[in-house]
Structure 1
């Protein structure tokens, strides 16, 4: 079924919230199935638009899973409801994080990957808020748990974030560095971030700062690329770089 409900205890005063996720679109591999990547759309979008673009990429050995976020009120939009992986206000370190929304979406995403064959490499990617969600999943993977303490079950092999930001950056360095295992996982997880220098939705400096925050927290296998004069959208050159990076990091056969 394309729709699912997810309930997660957060330890917050509000108790439990139920999130109803939208339709999921799947792009089957045209060649040998070597990797599965969950790709996450941006605020107000859905999985369909990205599934069409991903299907056109020269990556025949990747299965793409493109879920749709729940529809919820978003503080950034004055409480207007739209598809969003979590609630978001001002994009700054001072803005409170919606841990319950982040954890519920991260668990929903991990659930897709938990049923993949053991010999298939798994990863998460996304654009804008989808990139933020991918990076939150990367930190959960390194820490070995969600923000609410529930164990994170997936061994991610690649994370891609386009035009996004890092939620939960406050205190991340301390959380990673107090655990040898977390530090090891952070250092070994390949991450590709890219951002347009003229982005007027998620400013370039926020993307740059997110990359810096990840790096000082111990995510050393990180590549940050900037695209001069590009706004809040993707361009063919950027997607070519994503293809090349995934082919290399996931050791894919017969791509490109």
Structure 2
């Protein structure tokens, strides 16, 4: 009996802070007798160089807010905070990708020339992931496939979006708030944007955070099928959607979340009425970020949020 093994490496490297994180997944072993798929293993490794004087951390848990009788409880991991070096003008929650954690991104974000931004970097719950054959790792929601026709984990999406909103709920009234993320973190970011426009989560509960900017790198949009009808069905939702700045960025050599998903997400948002949407594609970029992409993020945030003392 011969088995076939497919190996996938999800890699993120930042030259800013000597940070190297990877999720090595050995999955899809095919048995010739029953053609079943089994997940073999997952190795997550990180080299972290932290600056203790600029960061703090804490942890939190929440319960899924869906309408089911038996709701899941999600235990979120440690949250890392990068304090602003200058006047505090904005706070952005930044969300990592599948299998990563908040600590690794906090190092890169601290090095950016955005002294007026406070960065909050939470860590997703550890949960079984269908895409990995049920193997548990950090994930903002469960995902089985990247498809407009695939089922969406609404309870997981809403729980993570609510956790992020809770992190932003105590920020000062004069501080602009936003959400950004990479890969699966990008998916939660743009899902939160749709919740803000509609004024509610997928389960109908009220969404009360006043988002001012959303950034998504190498991601996709969950729940895109009926978005246009939902937005067009409410004048207030249409007004909100038209006013929210969104930046989506994707590498055209991404073989983990192909660029076509970023393009489809941008199109779905645009058609639904998100008129202040910018989509950038980067030649030769795979499923990771590079300085030129982060430069684009810095310039966009500076302009959209009207930040002082930042590189324009």
Give the superposed CA RMSD.
0.8
Determine if the alignment matches structure 1 residue 191 to structure 2 residue 246.
yes
- Structure ranking higher on relative contact order (CA contacts 8 Å, 6+ apart): 1
Write the deviation string for residues 174-210 of structure 1: whole angstroms up to 9, x where unpaired: 0000000000000100000000001000001111001
Q: Determine the C-alpha separation between the residues in 2 that align with 1:214 and 1:56.
A: 31
Structure 2 match to 1:205: 260
Determine if the alignment matches structure 1 residue 223 to structure 2 residue 278.
yes
Structure 2 match to 1:17: 72
- Contact kept, 8 Å, 2:65 with 2:159, in 1: the verdict is no
* Cα offset, 1:5, TM superposition: 1.5
Secondary structure in 1 aligned to 2:241?
A: helix
Which of 162, 177, 199 in structure 2 is aligned with 1:122? 177
Structure 1 length as normaliser, TM-score?
0.98
Q: Determine the C-alpha separation between the residues in 1 that align with 2:65 and 2:82.
A: 32
Write the deviation string for residues 132-176 of structure 1: whole angstroms up to 9, x where unpaired: 000000000000000000000101000000000000101000000
Structure 1 match to 2:119: 64
Matches within 5 A, 1:47-58: 47-58=102-113
Q: Determine the C-alpha separation between the residues in 2 that align with 1:9 and 1:236.
A: 38
Q: Determine the C-alpha separation between the residues in 2 that align with 1:56 and 1:153.
A: 31
- Contact kept, 8 Å, 1:9 with 1:15, in 2: the verdict is no
Matches within 5 A, 1:20-169: 20-169=75-224
Q: Which has the higher helix share?
A: 1
Flag as ranges the 4+ runs of structure 1 deviating above 4 A: none
Q: Determine the C-alpha separation between the residues in 2 that align with 1:225 and 1:154.
A: 26
Q: Determine the C-alpha separation between the residues in 2 that align with 1:72 and 1:200.
A: 24
* Cα offset, 1:104, TM superposition: 0.3
Q: Determine the C-alpha separation between the residues in 2 that align with 1:48 and 1:8.
A: 24
Structure 2 length as normaliser, TM-score?
0.81
Determine if the alignment matches structure 1 residue 250 to structure 2 residue 250.
no
The size of the alignment, in residue pairs, is 255
Q: Computing the radius of gyration over CA atoms, which structure comes out larger, 1 or 2?
A: 2
* Cα offset, 1:2, TM superposition: 1.8
Q: Determine the C-alpha separation between the residues in 2 that align with 1:16 and 1:231.
A: 37
Q: Determine the C-alpha separation between the residues in 2 that align with 1:32 and 1:206.
A: 37
Q: Determine the C-alpha separation between the residues in 1 that align with 2:157 and 2:292.
A: 30
Structure 1 match to 2:233: 178
Secondary structure in 2 aligned to 1:22?
A: strand
Structure 1: tracts of 5 or more residues without a match: none
